[in-house]
Amino acid sequence: MAVNGSGDQWNETALLVIGMQKDFVDTTMCKRALPAGEAIVPIVTEAVDVARQRGIFIVVREHDPSGRDVELYRRHRYSSGQGQVVKGSEGAKLAEGLIIKESDYKLVKTRFSAFFATQLDSVLRTSGIKNLVIVGKHLYPPIEMDTAFDAVSLNYDKVSVILDATAAPEPEVHEQNIRDMKKIGVVTPTFEEWRR
């Protein structure tokens, strides 16, 4: 989910909300969902509320039930009925509190990076977006990191990842991912720092 912010400082900024479907964050629905992902839902929801002023782009990961659009290494899960975020399933819906509004733009992604084989870069560029803020839950490999690295490679002016609105399977994995992103110039504020 990518949200344009409001006010002068945000008119060239989009908020990307990644990996916040029920299959990834609702531990009552999916045994592979992460408790850490479930824990950040309120902060991610608040970040969307803060940013959702000028229009929205939605980045949603969903897959064909056969798994033919997923990476080869995990395609077997879909043929055995164990695939996550299958198009049309309850698990592919956004976490409780996150909604897609009628005016939203939905962009489906099928790989770790939101930029891979999608029109996200084109949509953002034609909307005048120069800065990206990324929130959401990451698996291993880290989805936010893949998207952040691609955003840096695509020369977005400023790429930020909100520390307490992202999560990983273990705290040390999250910390290492943040360190790696900082090395390439990604800014890592807390939600309170970012919302000021």
pLDDT of residue 54: 46
pTM: 0.87
Measured CA distances, 43 to 72, 92, 135, 175 (Å) = 33, 20, 9, 18
List, in sequence order, every residue forming a beta bridge with 176; answer none if it has no partner: none
More confident residue, 1 or 31: 31
Phi-psi region at 105: left, alpha or beta (left = phi > 0; alpha = psi -120 to 50): beta
Mean pLDDT of all residues in the chain? 85
> Which alpha helices (DSSP H) does the chain contain, by range?
22-25, 35-51, 75-79, 120-126, 143-153, 171-183, 191-195
Query: Do the Cβ atoms of 167 and 135 come closer than 8 Å?
Result: no
The residues spanned by each domain of the chain are 2-195
Q: Give the mean pLDDT of 16-40.
A: 84
Query: In the structure, what pLDDT confidence band is assigned to residue 139 with cuts at 50, 70 and 90?
Result: low
- For the record, the structure tokens of 66 come out as 């056969």
Count, in order, helices (H) and strands (E) of the chain: 7, 6
- The verdict on whether omega for the bond into residue 141 sits within 30 degrees of 0, i.e. cis, is yes
pLDDT of residue 173: 84
pLDDT of 18 higher than 70 = yes
Query: Do the Cβ atoms of 82 and 13 come closer than 8 Å?
Result: no
Query: Do the Cβ atoms of 46 and 97 come closer than 8 Å?
Result: no
Q: pLDDT for 42-82, tens place per residue?
A: 999 999 888 876 455 666 778 899 999 888 988 999 988 88
> Any residues with CB less than 8 A from the CB of 151 and at least 6 apart, and which?
115, 132, 134, 159
> Any residues with CB less than 8 A from the CB of 74 and at least 6 apart, and which?
67, 83
Does the domain spanning 2-195 belong to CATH 3.40.50.850?
yes
Q: What is the dihedral of CA 74, 111, 29, 58, to 10 degrees?
A: -170
